[in-house]
């Protein structure tokens, strides 16, 4: 993969540093605006994280541990985390006041979420071009589906580790290379006439699409955020089965039936995964570490927040009024 | 075949089954298990029986 095209001073600095062989001290002002919707910041962060996944052509793999770049990454991450803590505070406080056990709470929070339904629009109304737009935007996270969460495994122990490994085994094809979910997504892109190579659309997707992918990396690459990472993963799985059914129907409606395979697989897979993630991953975590409760809920709230922002963004781009109204968090 | 099959009931949700190789549906049709754990529909509303497709979520609590 080639380094991305910079889109502002921060991503420019990162790409410049990585284009030179020497380790770097990339001093650059980050500004103080919102971070999640800042494409320059999110692209810089995505590029820095990618050093820990597939890397870039002509960039020395040792740059993954370039201390100057890691310092910059931490600065951006601090901004992102503060913004997420603030944006989810109300939702987390309200959730913690309930008396549900963690599994019931995770599933209920996702089910009771009132964000605009992107998948309902995709099922009933979206044009072929809008479907392609959606697939393209999601590609930056789905082409490395479950890769971030693999970093969570060594940070867990006991029953929670067993549950995450069980989920990951399924995500990574359950012993069948052709069922590897990220490869299935690549086939979906190809079937929809899109470029399926890794990172193909990093220069095209929105700040929020990059932010959604980056959030998973941030929660997975920091051991202190492991519980939030588990909560995010559980919420992500729990908000997939029903939407996947709608998206598959939408793809078939616009004549992209071959692109629907991935989503059909996720109807069934995620009906399993949401239960396992909520009950067998989050459940034991709270039993073993009572303090994990709040962080798991924070992770759930982060997933819902980003999903709401991304859905609202695409619906607004396509000139569609949200069906269920925009939540306060989306509006803020 | 000595492997044991484990079944876990999810409140207001499916049965999680681990260790099975085949699931027989109501008509006796065999469905191969291709995952480490599968979820079986218990609400009767799934469009992919015997597998759960999360349709149970759209059934109001008082209609169960």
Contact B11 A166 (CB under 8 A): no
Mutate to test the interface with A, among B17, B33, B39, B47 (most CBs of A within 10 A): B39
The verdict on residue B31 lying in a domain is: yes
Show residues of chain B in contact with A180, CB under 8 Å.
Answer: none
**Which residues of chain A are at the B interface, by a Cβ-Cβ cutoff of 8 Å?**
104, 107, 111, 166, 169-170, 174, 176, 179, 241-242, 245, 267-272, 274-276, 279
Query: How many other CB atoms sit within 10 Å of the CB of residue A128?
Result: 15
Compute the distance between CA of residue A110 and CA of residue A18 in angstroms, rounded to an integer: 39
Query: What is the pLDDT of chain A when averaged over all its residues?
Result: 93
Query: How many other CB atoms sit within 10 Å of the CB of residue A67?
Result: 10
Q: Which residue of A has its CA nearest to B49?
A: A268
User: Nearest by CB to B10, which of A245, A269, A279?
Assistant: A279
Q: Give the global pTM.
A: 0.93
pLDDT higher than 60, residue B1 = no
Check CB contact of B20 with chain A, cutoff 8 Å. Answer: no
Show residues of chain B in contact with A169, CB under 8 Å.
Answer: 36
Q: Which residue of B has its CA nearest to A267?
A: B53
Show residues of chain A in contact with B14, CB under 8 Å.
Answer: 271-272, 275
Positions of chain A with pLDDT lower than 70, given as ranges: 321-332
Tokens matching residue B43: 């609400």
The verdict on residue B1 lying in a domain is: no
pLDDT higher than 90, residue B63 = no
Query: Taking a C-beta distance cutoff of 8 angstroms, is the pair A66, A22 a contact?
Result: no
Compute the distance between CA of residue A270 and CA of residue A179 in angstroms, rounded to an integer: 14
How far CA A308 is from CA of A20, A81, A301, A314, A330, in Å, comes to 38, 17, 10, 10, 6
Show residues of chain A in contact with B40, CB under 8 Å.
Answer: none
Q: Which domain holds residue B20?
A: 6-57
pLDDT given at position A116: 83
Residues 6+ apart with CB under 8 A from A220: A148, A149, A150, A151, A152, A229
Contact B54 A269 (CB under 8 A): no
Contact B37 A276 (CB under 8 A): yes
- Count how many pairs of residues, chain A against chain B, have C-beta atoms within 8 Å: 56
pLDDT given at position A321: 57
The verdict on residue B24 lying in a domain is: yes
Show residues of chain A in contact with B49, CB under 8 Å.
Answer: none
Contact B53 A271 (CB under 8 A): yes
The verdict on residue B13 lying in a domain is: yes
Q: Which residue of B has its CA nearest to A280?
A: B8
Gap from B34 CA to chain A (nearest CA, Å)? 8
Strand B6-9 relative to strand B15-18, pairing: antiparallel
pLDDT higher than 80, residue B62 = no
The verdict on residue B64 lying in a domain is: no
User: Nearest by CB to B35, which of A170, A274, A275?
Assistant: A170
pLDDT given at position A24: 75
Beta bridge mates, B30: B24
Query: Taking a C-beta distance cutoff of 8 angstroms, is the pair B60, B33 a contact?
Result: no
**How many domains in chain B?**
1
pLDDT higher than 90, residue B2 = no
Query: How many other CB atoms sit within 10 Å of the CB of residue A324?
Result: 11
Contact B35 A245 (CB under 8 A): no
Contact B58 A242 (CB under 8 A): yes
What pLDDT band is residue B37 in, cutting at 50, 70 and 90? very high
The verdict on residue B53 lying in a domain is: yes
Show residues of chain A in contact with B47, CB under 8 Å.
Answer: 245
pLDDT given at position A278: 97
Gap from A271 CA to chain B (nearest CA, Å)? 5
């Amino acid at each position: 993969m080639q380094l991305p095209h910079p889109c502002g001073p921060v991503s420019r600095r990162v790409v410049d540093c990585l284009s030179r062989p020497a380790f770097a001290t990339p001093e650059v002002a980050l500004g103080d605006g919102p971070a999640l919707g800042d494409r320059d910041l999110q692209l810089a962060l995505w590029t820095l994280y990618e050093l820990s996944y597939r890397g870039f052509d002509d960039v020395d793999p040792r740059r993954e541990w370039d201390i100057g770049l890691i310092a910059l990454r931490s600065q951006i991450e601090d901004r992102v985390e503060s913004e997420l803590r603030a944006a989810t505070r109300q939702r987390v406080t309200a959730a913690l006041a309930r008396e549900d056990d963690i599994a019931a709470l995770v599933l209920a929070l996702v089910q009771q979420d009132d964000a605009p339904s992107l998948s309902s629009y995709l099922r009933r109304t979206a044009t072929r071009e809008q479907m392609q737009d959606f697939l393209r935007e999601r590609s930056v996270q789905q082409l490395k589906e479950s890769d971030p969460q693999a970093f969570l495994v060594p940070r867990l122990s006991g029953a929670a580790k067993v549950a995450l490994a069980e989920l990951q085994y399924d995500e990574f094809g359950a012993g069948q290379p052709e069922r590897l979910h990220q490869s299935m997504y690549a086939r979906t892109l190809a079937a929809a006439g899109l470029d399926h190579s890794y990172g193909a659309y990093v220069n095209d997707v929105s700040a929020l699409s990059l932010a959604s992918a980056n959030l998973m990396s941030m929660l997975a690459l920091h051991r202190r955020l492991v519980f939030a990472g588990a909560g995010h993963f559980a919420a992500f799985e729990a908000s997939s089965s029903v939407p996947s059914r709608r998206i598959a129907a939408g793809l078939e409606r616009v004549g992209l039936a071959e692109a629907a395979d991935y989503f059909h697989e996720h109807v069934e897979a995620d009906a399993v995964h949401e239960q396992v993630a909520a009950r067998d991953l989050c459940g034991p975590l709270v039993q073993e570490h009572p303090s994990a409760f709040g962080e798991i809920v924070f992770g759930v709230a982060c997933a819902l927040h980003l999903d709401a922002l991304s859905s609202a963004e695409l619906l607004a781009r396509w000139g569609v009024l949200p069906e269920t109204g925009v939540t306060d968090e989306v509006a803020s | 075949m000595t492997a044991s099959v484990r079944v876990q009931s999810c409140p207001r949700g499916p049965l999680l089954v681990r260790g099975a190789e085949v699931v027989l549906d109501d008509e006796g049709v065999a469905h191969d298990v291709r995952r480490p754990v599968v979820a079986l529909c218990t609400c009767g509303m799934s469009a992919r029986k015997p597998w759960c497709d999360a349709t149970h979520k759209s059934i109001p609590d008082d209609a169960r």
